[in-house]
Amino acid sequence: MAQHDIAVIGLAVMGQNLARNIARHGFKVAVYNRSAERTRELVTTHPDPNLTPCFDLETLVAALQPPRRLLLMVKAGEAVDRMIEQLQPLLAPGDILIDGGNSFFRDTERRATALAQAGIHFLGVGISGGEEGALHGPSIMPGGDRAAYAAVAPIFEAIAARAPDGTPCVAYLGPGGAGHYVKMVHNGIEYGDMQLIAESYDLLRRGAGLDAPALAEVFATWNQGELQSFLIEITADILRARDEESGQPLVDLILDTAGQKGTGKWTSQDSFELGVPIPTINAAVEMRMLSAQKEERVTAAQTLRGPAARPAHEPTALIEAVRAALYASKICAYAQGLALLRAASDERGYGLELATVARIWRAGCIIRARLLDEISAAFTAQPDLPNLLLAPAFAAAIAERDAAWRRAISAAIAQGIPVPALSSALHYYDAYRSERLPANLIQAQRDYFGAHTYARIDRPGLFHTNWSELVRRR
C-alpha cells in the first residue's frame, strides 16, 4: 500500500486540479478531502489509475512511501492549523508537509517552527495560475528547508508551467516563509496590474468614448506588443463577451464592487512594516475598498460636482498615450513589488534572487508578462540592482514614454476620471528621481512642534532650533 509518491489534501478547485496534474505526470497520488463527496467526485469525474481516493487520514498517510510528502490545498487560515493538528500524530520525523495555499507568511513561519520540534519539515509553497494553471502548469514559489525541498522538487518541476525557453517555472526561493512571501508580493503586483488595466479601460471608455467591442480590439492589439501578458489577453476576451440573454457586453452588466481575499492588503501592511514605498499596489488595494462603498458613491454622485468626461473626437492619440502610460506604470508596479522583496529578503534572511523570482513568474502565474524576460535579464546582469527603474533598459523604456504618460494622466485629471494607480506610479517615478524632495520642510515642522531635531546639508550632526524665537528675533 505504501507506494504513493504524494498525498493531496483538500480537493476544491486548486487541489483537484493539482492532483490531476501530478497524476498525469506519472506520480502516484493519494487524495483526501474533509467532506467525502469531493473525493468521490474527483475520482468518478476524472478517473486515473494514479489517483487513489482515501476517506480517512490514517489510510492516506499509510498509503505514502517514506519520507512522506503531503500537499495541503485547504482554505488559508484556520483550516491549515486544523489539518496540521490532525496529521501531526500520524507523521514521523523526516516527513514533509507542504502548504500550497495562500497562507500568510508569518503563519507559515510559526507552523514550520512548531513542526520542526517534531522533526517534520514544513514547506510554504505559493502556487499561482488559478484553476487552469493548477491543471496545466502553475508557477510554483517554494520556501522552507532546502533539503526537504529537494525531495519534492522532481514533482514540482514536472507539473510547473514551462517558460518559452522550456525551463519549469519553479525554483527554491529561500527558508521559512520565503515562498509564501514571494506569492504574497506576486498577488500585490497582480492587484496593481489589474487596477492599472481597469483605469486604462475607464480612461478610454469615458475619455475616448470607446465601447466594449472597440476596447476589446485595443487590448487585443496591445497584447501583440510590449504589454503582452495574461491579464491584457483576458481583458480583451472579457470585453468581447456578450450576455447571452440581452446581447449586451457582459462587462457592462457587472456590479462595480471588487472583492478581495487579503493578499493585497497583507502586501501593503508589510510594506509599511518594512518602510518600503509601494504606492501603486496600495492604490489598487484602496480602490477595491472605495469600489465596495457603492451606496455612498451613488449618493455622492448626486451631490459632488467635477468636470464632465468629454470624449475626444479622435481617440487615436489618447489610445497611444494610455498604452504608454500603462506600460510605464506597470514597470513601476513591478519595481515597487521587487523592491519590497529585496527589503524583506535583507530583513528576514530569505536570500532571494530577484532574477530567479522574475524567471519563475514568466509562465503559469497571473502576472505572467513579456516584460518579465527583461526583468529577469536586468537582475541577472546586476543582482544587487537597488530598483528596477535603474536598469538601463527600463530607464530608457520609461524615458521614451514619459511625455505620453503625463498626457494620459493629465487627460484623466482634466476630465475627472480617477486614475490613482496610473498617477501614483508617475509620482513614484518623479519622487524616486528627485535629488531633493520637500522633506526638509517636514523636518523643520517636526523640529518646530516636537523638537525632533534635523540634519543639515552643510555640516554633520543633529540640530534643534527654537523656531518661534528665531523668527521673533529677526
The footprint of ligand NBP (CB under 6 A) covers 10-15, 33-35, 38, 73-76, 79, 82-83, 101-102, 127-128, 130-131
Amino acid 426 reads L
Residue with smaller CB distance to ligand NBP, 57 or 227: 57
Closest C-alpha to 333, from 219, 127, 186, 224: 186
> Residue with the closest Cβ to ligand NBP?
101
- Measured distance CA(206)–CA(85) in Å, rounded: 53
8 Å CB contact between 22 and 159: yes
Report, in Å, the least distance between residue 304 CB and ligand NBP.
37
Report, in Å, the least distance between residue 71 CB and ligand NBP.
11
Amino acid 321 reads A
- Measured distance CA(425)–CA(334) in Å, rounded: 10
- Measured distance CA(412)–CA(414) in Å, rounded: 6
Residue with smaller CB distance to ligand NBP, 9 or 328: 9
Options 28, 85, 157, 183, the catalytic residue = 183
DSSP assignment string, 406-466: HHHHHHHHHHT---HHHHHHHHHHHHHT-SS-THHHHHHHHHHHH---EE-SSSSSEE---
Pairing verdict, β 29-32 and 51-53: parallel
Residue with smaller CB distance to ligand NBP, 13 or 241: 13
Residue with smaller CB distance to ligand NBP, 83 or 281: 83
**Is-catalytic flag, 190?**
yes
Q: Is the peptide bond before 93 cis (omega within 30 degrees of 0)?
A: no
Residues 6+ apart with CB under 8 A from 316: none
Residue with smaller CB distance to ligand NBP, 11 or 385: 11
- Measured distance CA(335)–CA(367) in Å, rounded: 14
Report, in Å, the least distance between residue 76 CB and ligand NBP.
4
Report, in Å, the least distance between residue 187 CB and ligand NBP.
9
Residue burial 321-350, b: 16+ Cβ < 10 Å; e: rest: bbbbbbbbbbbbbbbbbbbbbbbbbeebeb
Q: Give the CA angle between residues 127, 130, 134 to the nearest 5°.
A: 65
Closest C-alpha to 387, from 443, 331, 349: 331
Residue with smaller CB distance to ligand NBP, 67 or 130: 130
- Measured distance CA(96)–CA(104) in Å, rounded: 19
Report, in Å, the least distance between residue 124 CB and ligand NBP.
11
From the CB of residue 181, how many other CB atoms can be counted at a distance below 10 Å?
31
From the CB of residue 420, how many other CB atoms can be counted at a distance below 10 Å?
19
Residue with smaller CB distance to ligand NBP, 38 or 106: 38
Report, in Å, the least distance between residue 99 CB and ligand NBP.
8
Closest C-alpha to 124, from 144, 94, 147: 144
Report, in Å, the least distance between residue 23 CB and ligand NBP.
17
- Measured distance CA(55)–CA(184) in Å, rounded: 32
Residue in the block written with cell 502586501: 267
Options 109, 190, 199, 286, the catalytic residue = 190
From the CB of residue 38, how many other CB atoms can be counted at a distance below 10 Å?
17
Residue with smaller CB distance to ligand NBP, 87 or 412: 87
Report, in Å, the least distance between residue 80 CB and ligand NBP.
8
Q: Active-site positions?
A: 183, 190
